[in-house]
Amino acid sequence: MSGENAAPRVSARQLWRRNGLIWAALLSLLFLSLGLAYVPMGRMTMVAGIVIAFVKSSLVILLFMELVKSKPLVRLAAFAGVVCLAALFALTLADVLTRITTTQ
């Protein structure tokens, strides 16, 4: 921890530049997904939107929330949530997508 008199490790400029770059990337991804939504690609339109959302959220989680710099324990906590959600999706959709409405 730096004290009151110690020189800060980073300058305000550096802070703004690093985070500003991430922000710029996020905004460009936002406009990219907005644009792609109007391109008729069938089901891929939706997929594109979701993939971009994943990229954006990864930027926020890894860099803004500093998950890359966090302890393994913290990463484990985040990972557990995602795995559990994946299980919820996977097994529920295993039902919804394979339902037989009628048998003959």
Partner 1 sequence: MNPVFSLPEASTHAVRVDHIFYGLLVLTGLTMIAVFVLIVMLAVRYRRGSSAERGPLPEIVSREFEIGWTSATLFLFIFLFWWAASADLSGLSAPANALEMHVVAKQWMWKTQHSNGAREINALHVPVDQPVRLVMTSQDVIHSFFVPAFRVKQDVLPGRDTEIWFRATKTGVFPLLCAEYCGTDHSMMRGRIVVMRQEDYASWLDKQPEGDDLAHQGAQLFVAQGCSGCHADSSSVHAPKLTGLYGSTVQLSDGRQVKADDGYIRDSILQPKREVVAGYEPIMPVYAGLLDDGEVQGLTAYIRSLASPNRTQTDGAAK
Partner 2 sequence: MTDALLTGDLPLPPRPDYLRHGVTLKSWLITTDHKRIAILYAITITIFFFMGGIAITLVRLELLTPNGWLLTSDTYNKLFSFHGIVMVWFFLVPSIPNTLGNFLLPLMIGAPDVAFPRLNLFSWYLTIAAGVLTVYALIAGGVDTGWTFYTPYSTMFSNSHVFAAASGVFVVGFASIATGVNFIATTHMLRAPGMTWFRLPLFVWAIYATSIVMVLATPVLAISLLLVIAERWLGLPIFNPANGGDPILFQHLFWFYSHPAVYIMVLPAMGVVSEIIPCFARRRIFGYDFMVYAMLVIAGIGFFVWGHHMFVSGQSPYANLIFSFLSFIIAVPSAIKVFNWTASLYRGQISFEAPMLYALGFVGLFTTGGLSGLFLASIPVDVHVTDTYFVVAHFHYIMVGGSVSAFFAGLHFWWPKITGKMYPESWSRFAAILMYAGFNMTFLPQFFAGYLGMPRRYHTYPPEFQIYNVMSSSGAAILALAYLLPLGYLAWSLYYGERAGKNPWGATGLEWTTFSPPPPKNFDWQPRVDRGPYDYHAEGQSAGLDPPEVQNARGVL
Partner 3 sequence: MTDTSGLLREPWDNFERQRSAGKFGIWVFLASEVLFFGSLMLTYTVCRIDHPEAFAAAGRATNIWYGTINTAILLTSSLTMAVASQAATVGRVFRRLVIWCLAATASLGIAFLVVKAFEYKEDIEKHLVPSAGFALHDTGAQLFFGLYWLITGVHAVHLIIGIVLVSRLALLGYLQKLQIGEAPEIEVTALYWHLVDVIWIFLYPLIYLPGRAS
Q: Which does residue 40 bind out of partner 3, partner 2, partner 1, none, counting CB within 5 to 8 angstroms by kind?
A: partner 3
Stretches 8-16, 56-64, 76-84, 95-103: which one binds partner 1 (CB under 8 A)? 95-103
CA atoms of 2 and 16, how far apart (whole Å): 20
CA atoms of 53 and 56, how far apart (whole Å): 5
What DSSP string describes 9-38? Answer: SS-HHHHHHHHHHHHHHHHHHHHHHHHHHT
Give the chain's radius of gyration (CA, Å). 21
Chain positions contacting partner 1, by CB under 8 A: 101-104
Chain positions contacting partner 3, by CB under 8 A: 1-4, 6, 8-10, 12, 15-16, 19-20, 22-23, 26-27, 30, 33-34, 37-41, 45-46, 49-50, 52-53, 56-57, 60-61, 63-66, 70-71, 73-74, 77-78, 80-82, 84-85, 88-89, 92-93, 96-97
